[in-house]
Amino acid sequence: MLQLSYFCLTGEPDRAIELGTRALALEMDTADPGADIVTKNYMGIAYHITGNYFRAIDLLKHTIAAADEDAIRYERFGTSTVLSVSCRNWVVQSLAQTGVFNEGINFAQEGIQIAEKTNHRYSLAYINCSLGFLLVLKGDLNQAIEVLQRCQKFCQDANIRVLFPQITSYLGFAYALSSRVDEALPLLQQAESETLSIGRISGQSLRVNWQGESYLMAGRLDEAASLARRGFELSEKHRERGHGAWSLKLLGEVASCQVPVNVKDGEAYYSRALAVANELGMRPLKAHCHLGLGKLHLQVSHLEKGRVELKQAIELYHEMEMKFWLSKAEAALTGLS
């Protein structure tokens, strides 16, 4: 079991899936529900990391049903977290990547209740961290900042270092999206140094990408492009396909901000990101790509193409209740009119 956790944290999710598959085959003849739940939890984490979000959701939902049995709902089974909470962490994050936000919030609230009842601070910090991640992706920034600041305090008070890179990255990106870039950049740099300090490689590609997004908001295109390329390289190395697609989207944004605008590269990067988003069911990213393509076409007076892309973005944002970005897409379309 420790090997599964190790491979998930250190950027080898494929090895975690392989090892977990073998472990489940061996456990078929045993009556140990704990071993089964722990193995499936780590496999769900690995599926999430590799961008297999729907597979992660399906496996973890079934595992939650088993872990919620009265006799074992608050058990840790030798791990660092309450397992019924841990499974919910990764359902929440996978649902966030696929744009099923309301269901993700429900799972997060259930996890918070379980963690509070057990008074297990690490589990409580982690489920709040996952909720904060979801709220950042949804664009509910005030709520995200409130949750992540609370989570940051949990971890500081209890010295839970393993979550520091995630929390500081998510909080920093929420600040950047809230036009607080000067506050965001130190936090995102801190997330990078903490990643290197504790060796939490998993998810580093997305944290690097969000740092790049924030540099782009600060108008520092060269640094944004460098971080986007680095994020993509990390995603390729550690099999984080979903995270790599976010880096491709950022490269599209960088190309769109160049003077003169680099239409060819912008379209190519957005299209590559969109292809992965469609394959993996990443609806928030899909909406962002349509928004980016719409704005790109408007910059070079391809008005009808721009209108089509913006309408697709608006439809998706409306479906997912992503009001922060919906307003931006609607403003772009109104400007076109």
Asked if the structure places residue 71 within a domain, the reply is: yes
Per-residue pLDDT reduced to its tens digit, 212-223: 999 999 999 999
In this structure, the dihedral spanned by the alpha carbons of residues 43, 48, 51 and 52, taken in order and rounded to 10 degrees, is: 50
How far is 184 from 231, CA to CA, in rounded Å?
A: 18
Asked if the structure places residue 114 within a domain, the reply is: yes
Per-residue pLDDT reduced to its tens digit, 227-279: 999 999 999 999 999 999 999 999 999 999 999 999 999 999 999 999 999 99
Residues 82 and 75: beta-carbon distance below 8 Å? yes
Smallest CA-to-CA distance from 149 within 136, 139, 137 is with 136
Q: Please state the domain count of the chain.
A: 1
Smallest CA-to-CA distance from 48 within 94, 104, 97, 111 is with 94
Q: What is the structure's pLDDT at 23?
A: 65
Q: What is the structure's pLDDT at 221?
A: 97
pLDDT less than 50: residues of the chain:
29
**Which residues, 6+ apart, have CB-to-CB distance to 156 below 8 Å?**
none
Kindly report the CATH number assigned to the domain that includes residue 119. Answer: 1.25.40.10
Residues 66 and 37: beta-carbon distance below 8 Å? yes
Q: What is the structure's pLDDT at 17?
A: 74
Asked if the structure places residue 26 within a domain, the reply is: yes
What's the domain range around 83?
Answer: 1-202
Asked if the structure places residue 90 within a domain, the reply is: yes
Asked if the structure places residue 66 within a domain, the reply is: yes
Q: What is the structure's pLDDT at 25?
A: 64
Residues 132 and 92: beta-carbon distance below 8 Å? no
Asked if the structure places residue 129 within a domain, the reply is: yes
| Stated pTM of the model | 0.94
Asked if the structure places residue 151 within a domain, the reply is: yes
Q: Which 8-state DSSP code applies to residue 161?
A: G
Q: What is the structure's pLDDT at 194?
A: 87
Asked if the structure places residue 318 within a domain, the reply is: no
